[in-house]
Amino acid sequence: MSASPEALREGKGRIASLDGLRALSIGMVLFAHVCGTRYFVSLVALRRDLGNVGVRVFFVISGFLITTLLLQEFTATKTISLKMFYLRRTFRIFPCAYTYILVMFLLYWSGFVALAPRDFMHAATYTVNYERVRPWYLIHLWSLSVEEQFYFIWPAILLFLRPRRGLWFAASVLVLAPLARFGMWYLTPDLRWNIGTGFQTNADALAAGCVLAGIRTWLWAQPAYLKFQKSQAFLLVPVLAALGAALLYASRPPLLLVSCLIGQTVLNIAIALLIDWCVRHHASPFGRFLNWKPMVFVGVLSYSLYLWQEPFLYRLSDAVINRFPLNLSLAFLAAIASYYLVERPFLSLRRRLENRLARPRPAMHLHARAAATDAFVESEAD
């Protein structure tokens, strides 16, 4: 069973299925990290692939959601307020992240964790993805660095180029990023370590979500595409996603060439198509599972959970807090504390500040801005 674009939201400001998809994504990351901890199986190859795929799903979702909201704002107001966008991002991302970084600094200062001042410099400036040697307690911030770099440049690009040319720019990234990966491997061997973490080598995952947001309405008007979504042929999409994921760690020709130029691109596009299917078919059995309240709750919790799982899911430590299942329980408890004590209060403060700073607009524009703001509050998580 499918839905029209107007029927995508379940409850105020929530895009159907996105929270459930986030829950699946954070589940893949958690499984990858809990593997190898004491009293849990190792599964080296599987944990590596699942964790990477989970992060890439987050990237595609971020590109899709952010671009959807920016296009909604542009349609309603004929512009994009960079000031308000960066205000929303600041209150959405910084409080939880800097709280985590502060706690890690206190543990480092007290001698409980082995870190270095440069690690905190990279963490505080969202450049962990360009740090060659990353310690376990801050290593996961590489993906947040990629997303923050995306948030910094994409709204300005979309505003400057306008939606049509901006989306063509995003489509070009789907070609340029694979070439960047290929070029870094063969032309700059000393920088190979940055393939997979550098923004330039991950931009196509975000761009896939951006392009999906821009063409989704057009796609849904194409009978052939809708027929494809309903057919058994669509099962090829998750199969291609699995093949693309399997190629992520190819290190020898010719598989390396396929991975750099094709494998990751296929994975990103397949993830985008699967997201579109889940959003459109939110009333299907799988869609109902994604929108099941426990799944939605884990999805809403995913940002705090991603931040706080790292200290507890450390497979090289034999400390009690790093043993399964206590480690997973503690990760959830820390995430719940972060969500209710930091994340939600700052989101409420953001809404109040946004209402004060927003300039008066026609009633239609105010309604559109309020809807976009609700979507940020209810649906946005990294």
Give pLDDT tens digits for 159-176.
Answer: 999 999 999 999 999 999
**19-39 pLDDT tens trace:** 999 999 999 999 999 998 999
CA 131 to chain centre: 20
**342-380 pLDDT tens trace:** 999 999 999 888 888 775 555 444 444 444 444 433 444
| Token reading at 146 | 């990629």
Question: To the nearest whole percent, how much of the chain has pLDDT over 90?
Answer: 73
**197-214 pLDDT tens trace:** 999 999 999 999 999 999
Sign of the Cα torsion 228, 231, 236, 238 reads positive
pLDDT tier at 251 (50, 70, 90 boundaries)?
low
CA distance 338 to 304: 6
Helix-, strand-, coil-residue percentages of the chain, each rounded to 5: 75, 0, 20
Question: To the nearest whole percent, how much of the chain has pLDDT over 70?
Answer: 87
| 3-state secondary structure (DSSP) of residue 196 | coil
pLDDT tier at 43 (50, 70, 90 boundaries)?
confident
pLDDT tier at 246 (50, 70, 90 boundaries)?
confident
| 3-state secondary structure (DSSP) of residue 354 | helix
Where are the domains positioned within the chain?
5-379
Sign of the Cα torsion 66, 68, 73, 79 reads positive
**334 membership: H or E segment, kind and range:** helix 326-338
CA distance 1 to 3: 7
pLDDT tier at 220 (50, 70, 90 boundaries)?
very high
Measured from the Cβ of residue 343, the count of other Cβ atoms closer than 10 Å reads: 23
Taking phi over 0 as left and psi of -120 to 50 as alpha, with beta for the rest, 81 belongs to: beta
Q: Give me the pLDDT at residue 306, please.
A: 97
Q: Give me the pLDDT at residue 16, please.
A: 84
Q: Which of 334, 263, 365 is nearest to 103 (CA)?
A: 334
CA distance 22 to 61: 8
Q: Which of 124, 111, 140 is nearest to 313 (CA)?
A: 140
Q: If you search the block for the tokens 């070439």, which residue do you land on?
A: 179
